[in-house]
Amino acid sequence: MDYAGTIDFTYPKATEWYKGLLKNLLDMGVTCIKTDFGENIHMDALYKGMKPELLNNLYALLYQKAAYEITKDVTGDGIVWARSAWAGCQRYPLHWGGDSCSSWDGMAGSLKGGLHFGLSGFAFWSHDVPGFHTLPNFMNSIVDDDVYMRWTQFGVFSSHIRYHGTNKREPWHYPAIAPMIKKWWKLRYTLIPYIVEQSRKAIASGAPLLQALIFHHPEDKLCWHIDDEYYFGNDFLVAPVMNSENRRDVYLPEGKWVNFFTGERLEGGHWLKNLDIPLDEMPVYVRQGATIPVYPDEVECTDDMDLSKSIGLHIDPHFKGIFKN
């Protein structure tokens, strides 16, 4: 950390000075501040209100609090884009998982971390799509098409989504899969009313949008060990594919489930073994009887949406799959 200074957020004058710098940006039209880093501080420095041994973990909370407060004061929206966290940072959303590796292990590790994060009280969490860097070359990373595609699917069923990394991440740099990417982006826009509904519930209850299976099924001992599936809100069960073989096992918890893409009806409480999942598909199941708010029109930006036009998609016996209804 010899290349950077540390703002002393235990010192009110320093905090106000930092808020003033951010205010200049917000007055220009910036809508969100990325509070990057924050996970460690200079341990050999003197801080106004606390010893560095105590401040090291608390620093992220004070850092995000300052950015959140000035953003809300200027724009009216309480939001940051935060990386590190400590107890209490859930009051200052949003968070993302930092610089994950663009690999199957990186994707799996991101999901595991996000589920633990949600169980720790953080309602909004996401990740860099399709991972931030590769190995052994950290910079100028080229991502494999299948990793890019599978991570996009994971991102569509996350509270917020961003493409970010050490090289080009726009889909037109991946022409072989660009049409599939567009299809999944359209699905994301379709689901915005559902995401908004579940976000409001999260704000009121503290429940995360990405929920570990034990959140709903604490009595099911299998769910205590499953960290590669999750509930997205209260109604979706999502099982990302995280290998080049395009296969995986899926555990369906107790209940009645419907395949979101095919309309197939399934009973819960058992495994679906060795499923073959084409690259443009992902195992997503929705509760039978649920009503999913969706946006009926194609748009290219959320600014073009009028959420009063949202309609309810009923997962009833007539439901044949989201792309078939």
User: In 10 A of CB 187, how many CB atoms?
Assistant: 18
User: In 10 A of CB 127, how many CB atoms?
Assistant: 27
CA 50 – CA 56 distance, rounded (Å)? 10
List, for residues 49-107, the tens digit of each pLDDT value.
999 999 999 999 999 999 999 999 999 999 999 999 999 999 999 999 989 999 999 99
pLDDT for 257 beyond 60? yes
pLDDT of the residue at 312: 97
Q: What is the residue-averaged pLDDT of the chain? A: 95
Catalytic residues: 36, 39, 99
List, for residues 285-298, the tens digit of each pLDDT value.
999 999 999 999 99
Closest residue by Cα to residue 193 from 42, 312, 299: 312
The answer to whether the pTM exceeds 0.85 is: yes
Closest residue by Cα to residue 32 from 64, 79, 66, 76: 79
Domains of the chain, with CATH numbers?
12-192 (3.20.20.80), 211-314 (2.60.40.1180)
Confidence of residue 325 (pLDDT cuts 50, 70, 90): low
